[in-house]
A and B are shown apart, each in its own frame.
Chain A
Amino acid sequence: MSAPSLIVVGLIAAVLLIWFIAVFNSLVALRVRVQNAWADIDVQLKRRHDLVPNLVGAVQGYLAHERSTLEAVTEARTKAVASSSETVAHRAQAESALSGALSNLFAVAEQYPQLRAVESVQLLQEQLTSTENRIAFARQFYNDEVMKFNTAQATFPRNLFAGVFGFSPTAMFVAPDAERANVQIKA
């Protein structure tokens, strides 16, 4: 082999190597983003756990006749907190039970005009609404990131070696059946 062709081969190899490193790093970055997005959902769930006792304490005085509703919320929260070390499926179930109990509480509170007029309750309700939204948006972001990650792995030519280096498609966050049942679609 002559010197020029050696140089050409070497250049091609170098370009390939650089490209390979870039692709590998981008896959790693995507995976880290997915993990990060997952952790963000956790943060928001934790925030909800912290808010619920405040809310219950604030409305307790006005909802003396609705003890069962309040107890359901407290109980659902306890279960959700306890489930944070369990499997994802288990956890999703406990969290969606808490969501259900909370929306139940809000529905009941709608019937008490004097409660809706209290400013601190309004603020708490806003915070809780926001927390529900944040959980939803954190999931949405997680799913978007998972989609990007999975697409990156599945497209040619990355699909040839993504599996070899231990990248595997990640599951999307799907709403549990119990939660889906709660959604009322307006016509």
Chain B
Amino acid sequence: MTVYVLKRLAYIVAIMAIMSGLVFLSTHALPENTAQVILGDYATPETQAALEAKLGLNRPLGLQYAEWIGGLLHGNFGRSLILEQPIAPILWAALAKSAIIAVAAMMMISIIGIALGVAAAVNYKRPFDYIASALTYVGLSVPEFFWGLILILVFGSYFQWFPTSGYSEPVDGIGVFIAHLALPVITLTIGLQAHVSRLTRSSMLEALDSNYVRAARARGMPERVVIFRHALRNAMLPTITVLAQDFGFLIGGIVAVETIFAYPGVGRLLVYSLSRHDLPLMQAAVLVITAVYCLANLAADLLYGVFNPRIRYGRAVD
């Protein structure tokens, strides 16, 4: 197990190294370099050359890369060109705000997805099952940003129940804090719970059809116990896997959702830095998101091992 975790960590380090190289080179492939972004449209060749020399942009690429990585390892992400502030505090604050909606959404996705899946399986081929299946299809086929817009229309503009953009600190009132989270979290939940409920439904159907469930029923167990203790517990394994995968989708979804709800998280920071060509901010955001993604995948795989005693990591799992 330890060997497996160490191997996976080494793998993550390799991925991060590739990504950092890619990000670093990509910023040098841009039509405009850092000096031009700072100087704006009024740059003369002389001022630009002077600034490039001052920033060390005319030194060898390898040296610049090594310096950048060295800084990163010391927690120094450099300064944002457009915001004109050190990046680290901005980045960590944005990451924390994204984590709030990610965790809230994951909880909603697990609860609603599993509940819907179990209910659909128990009501197999009855109206509830068909309605749930249709909803699953719609949930999977409509992208987050369109859900977000519909929710803004209905709950923001029409009913005016929730604010449609921004973020509020918990110290300014817990109600306002939650109200700001509501629409982004609901948007993320609608799409991703569909994966979970679809898979829970099919593995529940399989479990309900198994001999151990038949045996439990034959012994006169109450249906509630059969469904939750015998069937669901065995059906949970694929669900856990898909929940873990969904975390990857969630990161993609968060970028769109934060943009549409103007939520100050790391996804919006990334879009901002990319569209404004704020190179140091963009490098930092891309790397941090990649790291979170890799670590989440690792956590998911380890969790899977905990829930499935038949899998013992240490040898190749296909």
Are A and B a genuine interacting pair, yes or no?
no
